[in-house]
Amino acid sequence: MENNTTSSEWDQLMRASVAAPEPPESFLADLDGRLRAQQRKRALRAGFQRRVFAAALGSTLTLALLLVAVAGPERVIAAVRNALGFIPGIGFVSADAPVRVLAEPVRVEREGIAITLTRVTAESTGTNVSFTVEGLPVPDGAPSAGEGICPGVSAIAWPGGGLFSSTGGGGGPLGGSFTWNESFPSIPPTEMEATLIIPCIPMTVAGDYPANWEIPFRLVPTDAPALFATVEPTATVSPPPSATATDTKEAFPGISIGVERISELEDGYLLIGILEWDEKQYAMADASGSEFTLTDRDGRILPVENIGSVPEEPAAPNSAFWSLRVSGKNLRGPVTIRLDSLFVFLRDPLTFSFDTGENPRAGQEWEIGKSFSVSGHPLTVLRAEYILENSMPGLSVSVQTPPEILHVVVGSNNPPEAGGGPGESFESGIYRWRVFLQSPPSGRVELFIQQMTIQGEWTTTWDPPQD
């Protein structure tokens, strides 16, 4: 195996690369309140991401990590909103400075494994990179406890000695081939050549595969992005007064959607919408991976693509952006936008516990039978089974869920959890989730449910411009 850089040398390199001068005290004071609110949001997302990460290791479940940036004070947010642009095939970019992109894909092969750099977007607010990994064997389970996993932290270097490390990343599914995405600080605008440095293949056991990959690449200018215009907010369509409590339109009250900005593209429109929730019921909600349905005034379904998360945080702490690309022009409005499901993080977790005894064995089960109500919908934790997967201890928890709750995530406070997943749904309405533990269970186990995917019908309207 090739490995010319020691771990300590690499650590020193990374620490040096992220060093930065201290900002003025006045700026820090101005940012403090907003940073605290946005950090709470990211902490909630990170908890969900850690559980999905372990699921990917255990069963090649698709890993979708959100890369979120720290939002500044309101005046900074307003400036970012005015400067946000979109380039088809590239995504959201800053419109206040030139954007550079990868000139051509670059492929490097070593010992039967190939890494291909497929995307680089360098702008004033940061640099986003995507690469694919091919030729890895498909894992037969989660890594054994104690094995070192490559965290997937790369670096970018350019001529003259400049270098910095990534600020976040993720990808999947793992095994065989997968795509990995990472974000970095902004490459200096004068630099058109650089090298991506990958110390180890992300999410693999350190030492099993070639290390210290170097992929040189070139950047070229791209076309100017399409800009966004702010639109008047549209009221959320409410269910009729006669709707019953079980009607999916009001199955989970306190959640609403609206359209905030629009950008006209050559072949359609890009919409940025906002999702808002009652902060007394939910700590977070997210529709970046949800399915939207758009219909015009004649009832015709319009072609639409969910672009995903927006590289910006709304001003309100109990809100999040979503974005859609709508194909076609001269649309017959008003257009109805419908969201059928979304991910939520409950403000108050559903907690339950049981006693495993001193020396439980794999395959042993415990009946729990504890019921909860989520916005009037019954949810019952039925039982738990002790499992071992490649020496990693865990619990498989069965939950009876109503049709309005599509997916739940079970976490563990005692013993501390090491991740979780995947989940399984059954026709009987039982949902099963595996939570992995940092140590084998013994005595009283304390679990909780706080994250779930819910089903409803949230709608708003949008009036497309007419020629």
339 with 279: CB under 8 angstroms?
Answer: no
> What mean pLDDT is predicted for residues 202-209?
76
296 with 264: CB under 8 angstroms?
Answer: no
130 with 187: CB under 8 angstroms?
Answer: no
Half-sphere exposure of 109 (CA within 13 A, CB side): 4
Token representation of residue 229? 């215009």
d(CA 34, CA 336): 33
The model's confidence at residue 428, banded by pLDDT at 50, 70 and 90, is confident
The model's confidence at residue 357, banded by pLDDT at 50, 70 and 90, is very high
Strand partners, 168: 183
> What mean pLDDT is predicted for residues 27-46?
42
In the predicted structure, residue 460 carries a pLDDT above the cut 70: yes
Token representation of residue 342? 């979304």
366 with 384: CB under 8 angstroms?
Answer: yes
438 with 416: CB under 8 angstroms?
Answer: yes
For the chain, percent of residues with pLDDT exceeding 70: 69
> Tell me, what amino acid is at 9?
E
Strand partners, 341: 455
Nearest of 304, 317, 270, 276 to residue 92 by alpha carbon:
270
In the predicted structure, residue 18 carries a pLDDT above the cut 70: no
**Residue-wise pLDDT tens digits, 56-87:** 333 222 222 222 222 222 333 333 344 566 66
Token representation of residue 28? 């820090």
d(CA 406, CA 452): 7
261 with 81: CB under 8 angstroms?
Answer: yes
Beta carbons within 8 Å of 190's beta carbon, 6+ residues apart: none
384 with 397: CB under 8 angstroms?
Answer: yes
**Residue-wise pLDDT tens digits, 383-419:** 999 998 767 899 999 999 999 999 999 999 999 988 7
User: Higher model confidence: residue 17 or residue 108?
Assistant: 108
Task: Please give the pLDDT value at position 49.
Answer: 40
> What mean pLDDT is predicted for residues 18-47?
40
d(CA 386, CA 404): 28
Q: Please tell me the pTM assigned to this model.
A: 0.62
Task: Please give the pLDDT value at position 3.
Answer: 38
Question: How would you classify the pairing of strands 292-295 and 282-286?
Answer: unpaired
The model's confidence at residue 176, banded by pLDDT at 50, 70 and 90, is low
User: Higher model confidence: residue 309 or residue 73?
Assistant: 309
Task: Please give the pLDDT value at position 20.
Answer: 32
248-254: Cβ within 8 A, 24+ apart: 248/404, 248/455, 248/456, 248/457, 249/456, 249/457, 250/456, 251/375, 251/377, 251/404, 251/454, 251/455, 251/456, 252/344, 252/375, 252/404, 252/454, 252/456, 253/278, 253/375, 254/278, 254/280, 254/281, 254/282
336 with 237: CB under 8 angstroms?
Answer: yes
Mean pLDDT estimate for the chain: 75
User: Mapping DSSP to helix (H, G, I), strand (E, B) and coil, where does residue 216 land?
Assistant: strand
Task: Please give the pLDDT value at position 195.
Answer: 95
Please compute Rg for the chain using Cα positions.
24
Task: Please give the pLDDT value at position 93.
Answer: 65
Task: Please give the pLDDT value at position 145.
Answer: 40
> Tell me, what amino acid is at 114?
A
d(CA 101, CA 146): 40
Helices (H) and strands (E) in the chain, counts: 3, 28
Beta carbons within 8 Å of 357's beta carbon, 6+ residues apart: 442, 443
> What mean pLDDT is predicted for residues 447-455?
95
Half-sphere exposure of 73 (CA within 13 A, CB side): 9
In the predicted structure, residue 207 carries a pLDDT above the cut 90: no
Token representation of residue 403? 């049709």
